[in-house]
Amino acid sequence: MLGTDTGKARHIKIEILNGGEYEALLNSGRLSLLGASYNVDEFLAAPKILLCGRCNQGGHIKKFCQQSKFDICRRCGGVRTHLQDHRDCQIKCHHCGGDHESTSYKCQYISDFRYQLIQKLREHPEKLPPQVQLFIPTEFREKNDRQKTIVNKNARNERPLRQQQQQFNKTDSDSRAWPGWNSTTTGPSSSISQADELIKSFTQRLDEMEKRHETENRLAQERYEAEKMRIEIKYKLHIESLSKAWLLTDQTQEMQQRIISKTTTATREAFTSIIEMAEALAGTVNELKKQSGTEVFDGWLHLIQTHRNQLKGTHVRYNEQLKEMESFQSEYNASKKNALLTLFSSNNV
């Protein structure tokens, strides 16, 4: 609550627009509600002080300010030319340098100004209007002083005198009339009516809150559905793009496999031709050896047979590795196909 030490209060504030009901409720001092009785006291708000909107000091208004030529931000104390720059600025009082706004009651400058103002009103309470009761905050009261308010006692004493003069000025016709009913007296019926009015006002407020909550929930649901639709459309577009990318990848992979297959076929044919050529060359050298009857061709024959055997071993290893690669390629294609079917299935799209 504004003006308190902690900003909190354990009381419930009720605003009553009808002046008669307001006076009756204060005079009775009790409020009966749903079978329970509650104490009623007059609520006196903490006194507000006049602060300049330009320099954030007390005692004058912005129109007559002579302390500053520009507007000072009450949060950071900087030049408040662009409001956008001062919505989230660092809070630092330019009066005392504290961690609060310059117009806060926590500021020592504002607190001293309030204290001086209350002291002046204590010295001259006759300057207050007759209907005003100025509440004195706890920290500004004198020690052992139980006075909580400042009132214009002279103006209040004039009211009974005016009422007595009106009684003396009554005519004989007025004296023969029925006596007037004291408006300040209350009974069970007035308390019940007040409780009924309060219950009606609370019920109306609850209905308004319920309607507002229903409207907010409906708008939130509409925003949720719209956002959900937007995400689904975006997800479908993403899936389509991903599907096209996978299709292009498959086409590229298929083309690479065809190239590799042709290269493999050519390599196999080359191995076969070279091995056959080596065998033919070995046969030719062997015939020459038989015809000459010498051992000159033994070295050549041994070298040709060695290379032929190496070619056969390399050919065998090449075929085995090629089979392993083909098996791995088949497993990879099957796994990729299953992953694509899972990703692009109707349940996930």
What angle separates helix 19-28 from helix 188-292, to the nearest 10 degrees? 100
Alpha helices in 124-187 (DSSP H): 153-168, 172-175
Query: Model confidence at 5, in pLDDT bands (50, 70, 90)?
Result: low
Query: Model confidence at 231, in pLDDT bands (50, 70, 90)?
Result: very high
Q: In this predicted structure, what is the pLDDT of residue 181?
A: 43
**Lookup: tokens for 103:** 């117009």
Q: For the residues 83-101, what does the mean pLDDT come to?
A: 87
Query: Model confidence at 8, in pLDDT bands (50, 70, 90)?
Result: low
Q: In this predicted structure, what is the pLDDT of residue 239?
A: 82
Which tens digit of pLDDT belongs to each residue from 11-69? 788 888 888 888 888 888 888 878 788 888 877 666 677 889 899 898 888 888 988 88
Alpha helices in the chain (DSSP H): 19-28, 108-123, 153-168, 172-175, 188-292, 298-343
Which tens digit of pLDDT belongs to each residue from 262-304? 888 888 888 888 888 888 888 888 888 788 777 777 888 888 8
Q: How far apart are CA 13 and CA 9, in angstroms?
A: 10
77-88 per-residue burial string, b: 16 or more CB within 10 A, e: under 16:
bbebeeeeebee
Q: Point out the least confidently predicted range of 66-80, 119-133, 165-179.
A: 165-179
Q: In this predicted structure, what is the pLDDT of residue 93?
A: 92
Report CA 83 to chain centroid distance, whole Å.
22
Q: Do residues 133 and 149 make contact, with C-beta atoms less than 8 angstroms apart?
A: yes
**Lookup: tokens for 322:** 């090629």
Q: How far apart are CA 305 and CA 275, in angstroms?
A: 10
Residue 174 clears pLDDT 50, i.e. is over it = no
Report CA 11 to chain centroid distance, whole Å.
31
Q: In this predicted structure, what is the pLDDT of residue 55?
A: 92
Q: In this predicted structure, what is the pLDDT of residue 229?
A: 92
Q: In this predicted structure, what is the pLDDT of residue 177?
A: 41
Q: How far apart are CA 256 and CA 248, in angstroms?
A: 12
Q: Do residues 89 and 79 make contact, with C-beta atoms less than 8 angstroms apart?
A: no
Residue 122 clears pLDDT 70, i.e. is over it = yes
Q: In this predicted structure, what is the pLDDT of residue 42?
A: 77
Closest among 94, 95, 100, 150 to 127, alpha carbons compared: 150
**Lookup: tokens for 190:** 């007035």
94-105 per-residue burial string, b: 16 or more CB within 10 A, e: under 16:
bbeebebbbbeb
Query: How many percent of the chain have pLDDT more than 70?
Result: 83
